[in-house]
Structure 1
Amino acid sequence: MTTTVTTSVTAPTGRPRPAGVPRERRRATLLRWCFVAPAALYMLAFFGYPLVRNILMSFQHYSPRTYFTGEAPFNGLDNWRGVFDNPLFAQSLWHTLVFTFGSLLGQFVLGLALAVFFSRRFRLSGFVRAVLLLPWLVPMVVSAVVWRKLLDQETGVLNTLLMDLHLTSSAIPWLSSPNVALFAAILVNVWIGIPFNMVILYGGLQEIPRDLYEAAALDGAGAWRTFRSLTLPLLRPVVTVVLILGFMSTVKILDLILALTGGGPADSTQTLGTLTYQLSFQQLDFGQGAVVGNVLVLVSAVFAVLYLRANRSDFGQGK
C-alpha cells in the first residue's frame, strides 16, 4: 500500500496559498508593463535619444562636412568654452530670463483675473470665453506677423491710437529701439498666453466648493480676504501646473521672436532659443548650438525641480 504525502504551500499567516497566485501575479505585472512599454519606447525614441545625442554633439566638432563624411571628432570642452566666452551668451541668458518671467507674470495675472471674472456666470459668458481663446489657437508665427504690423513705428495701429488719444506725443519705436523691443516681445507673448492661463485657472476655480464661499461670507470675510485666504490656497496645485507648463513653453520660444524682431535690434531680443538657431543654422557651428540647447534643458529642469519641491506638500496632501 502506497501512501501519498501531499504538501501545501502556506502563507505567513498559516493559510494555504493557492498555487496559481504567483502565476497570476506575474501575468498582472506583465500586463502592466505591456501598457507602459509603448509610452516608454516613445519617450526613449523621441526624447531620450535626441537628448543624449545633443549632449554628445556638444563635445564634438560637428560641422556640415560631418553629414557627408560621418566624422565628428571629440574636442573636449572647446565648444563649451567657446559659448561661455561669447559675450552674446550672457546677454541672451539675461534676455531669456527677463522675457520668460515677464511673460509668466503678465499671462498669469491677467489670466487669473479673467478666470475669476468668468467664474461669475453671466449671459454670453461662454461665447466671450470662446472668442478670447482665438489668440491661443492662431499659429505663433501668424500672431507675430500681425503684431509686427500693429507695432510698426510709422504705420502701426497702436501708435496711431496712442497719439489720437494724446497718450504720447510721438510714435514709439516698439520694434526698432533696443530699449523697447524686448518689452514689445513680452507684450505680444502675454497676449498669446492669456487664454491658456485663463482656461486652466477657470477649470480650477470650478472645482472649489461653493459652500466654502458661503461660509466665508457668513464669517464676514470681504472679497479680497476671501480671494487671498480661500481661493489662492485651494488653487495652488493648478497654479503650479500652469506656471511649470508656461515656463517650459516660454523659455524656449523661437518662432515668435524670429518673426517679430529676428533677435534685434542690436541683439536686444536675442534669447537662448534664437542664439541656438543662430549658431546652428546660420554659423553652422552645431557643436556650440548643442551647448546652448543643453543649457536650455538644464535651466528648464532646475526650475521644474525647484518649483515642484517647493509645492510637493500640496500634492502630497491632495489639496
Structure 2
Amino acid sequence: MNRVNKLKTWTIGYTFVLPALLYMLLLVGYPIIDNVRLGFQNVDMSNFIQSDHQFVGFQNYIDLFKDGTILRTLFNTVVYTVLCIALQFVIGISLALFFNQKFALASRLRGLVMISWLIPATITAMVFKYMFALDGGIINNALMSLHLINAPIGWLVQPELAMLSLVIANTWIGIPFNMILLTTGLTTIPKDIYESASIDGANAIQRFFRLTLPLLRPAILSLLVLGFIYTFKVFELVVIMTKGGPVNSTEMMSTFAYKMSFDQFQFSQGAAVANIMFIVLLIVGFWYFRVVHKEEVS
C-alpha cells in the first residue's frame, strides 16, 4: 500500500510539472538547440528558404573574431554590465538600509521607488532619450540653469557619454530590484546580534562590514548573478536610446546579434553571436550553482 501511495504521489507531482516542462522544452530548449545548429551552418538571405544548408563548422565564429567587432561588443557589454551592477548594488543597499529603519512613510516611499522597476523598459528608454536630448533635454537644461555648463552636451552622440547615459538609465531601472531583495535579506537578520555588537563597542561602520554584509552574503550573491544575467542581455535601452552608436561605442552583444540577423541577414553569424552570449551566461550560472553547493555542503 505504501508503494502504491508513493507511485500516486509521484504521478500527481509529475503531472503538475509536465505543462511547465513541455513549455520549457518547446519555447526555450528547442530554440537554443536550433540556434546552436544554425551557428554551424551557412545561412543567409540567399539560401534561407532552402531545406539543406552547408555545414561550415566554426567558420562563422572565426569570421566574427577576424572582423573584430565581436570583441568590441563583448567589451562594451562587460563594461556596461559591471558599471550597472556596481551602481545598482551601492544605491540599492543604501536604500535598503534606509527603509529598514522604522519611520512613518517608510512603506509608502519604498513603494514609490518601485515605480521605476514596474515601468516597461521601452518606456524608460524613450523617457531617458528625451531627457538626454541635445536640444531641449531636461538634463542639459538643468545643468545650464545651474551654470554648470555653458552649452548643451551631446550625451547620446559622444562615445563615452553615450555609454554613461545607458548606465544611468539601466541603474534607475535596477535600483528597486536590488533594494527589495536586500531589504528582504535584512529582515532575516536577528536584531539581537546588533545589540550584542553595540554592547561590545562596535560602531555603525563595523557592524555593517562585520555583520550586515557577511550575513547578507547569500542574498548578495543571488542578486549579483541575477543582475549580471538581466543586464548582460540588455536590448531595448540600447536600440531606443543609441542604436549601438556612435561608432559602435554602445553596441552590445544582443543588439549586434539582432543587426547581423535582421539588418544584414547573416543569420548564421547572428546565431553565433547569440551562442557566445549563451556560453557566457551559462558559465556564470554554473559558477553560481557551484558556489551555492559549496556553501550548502560546508
TM-score range normalised by the length of the shorter chain: over 0.9
CA contact (8 A) 1:62 1:286 kept: yes
Match in the other structure for 1:114: 95
Q: 2:154 aligns with which of 168, 173, 177?
A: 173
Q: Greater share of helix residues, 1 or 2?
A: 2
2:171 is matched with 190
Instruction: Return 277-286 or 178-187, whichever deviates more.
Output: 178-187
RMSD, matched Cα: 1.7
**1:247 equivalent in structure 2:** 228
Query: Residue type matched to 2:273 in 1?
Result: V
Between the aligned partners of 1:27 and 1:154, the Cα distance in structure 2 is: 68
Does residue 158 in structure 1 map to residue 134 in structure 2? Answer: no
For residue 220 of structure 1, give the secondary structure of its aligned residue in structure 2.
coil
CA displacement, residues 245-291 of structure 1 (integer Å, 9 cap, x when unaligned): 11111101111100010000111100111100110010011100000
Q: Which residue of 2 aligns with 1:295?
A: 276
Matched, 1:142 2:123: yes
Give the counterpart letter for 1:40 in structure 2. Answer: L
* Separation of aligned partners in 1, 2:125 and 2:47: 35
- Paired residues of 1:200 and 1:242 also in contact (CA < 8 A): yes
Report the Cα distance in structure 2 between the residues aligned to 1:271 and 1:162, rounded to whole angstroms: 29
**3-state DSSP of counterpart to 1:154:** coil
- Counterpart AA for 1:214: E
* Separation in structure 2 between the aligned mates of residue 312 and residue 108 of structure 1, nearest angstrom: 24
Q: Which runs of 5+ in 1 are unaligned?
A: 1-19
Q: Distance in 2 between matches of 1:36 and 1:271?
A: 36
- 1:178-206 CA-partner distances (Å, limit 9, x unpaired): 12211111111111110111111111111
Output one character per residue of 1:20-43: Cα deviation in whole Å (capped at 9) or x when no partner: 444444444334433333332222
User: Which blocks of at least 5 consecutive residues in structure 2 are unaligned?
Assistant: none
Between the aligned partners of 1:179 and 1:197, the Cα distance in structure 2 is 26
How is 1:26-37 mapped onto 2 (pairs within 5 angstroms)?
26-37=7-18
Rounded to whole Å, the distance in 2 between the matches of 1:223 and 1:313 is 31
Cα 1:148/1:219, change in 2 over 3 Å: same
**Cα contact 1:237–1:315 (8 A) shared by 2:** no
Superposition map of 1:1-319 within 5 A: 20-64=1-45, 66=47, 68-316=49-297
Instruction: Name the TM-score, length of structure 2 as normaliser.
Output: 0.94
Query: Identity across aligned pairs (percent)?
Result: 36
Q: CA deviation at 1:141?
A: 1.1
Distance 2:77 2:171 in 1: 15
| One-letter identity of the residue aligned with 1:117 | F
Q: What is the rounded CA distance, in whole Å, between the counterparts of 2:131 and 2:5 in structure 1? A: 66
Q: 4+ residue stretches of structure 1 with deviation over 4 A?
A: none
Q: Distance in 2 between matches of 1:315 and 1:51?
A: 30
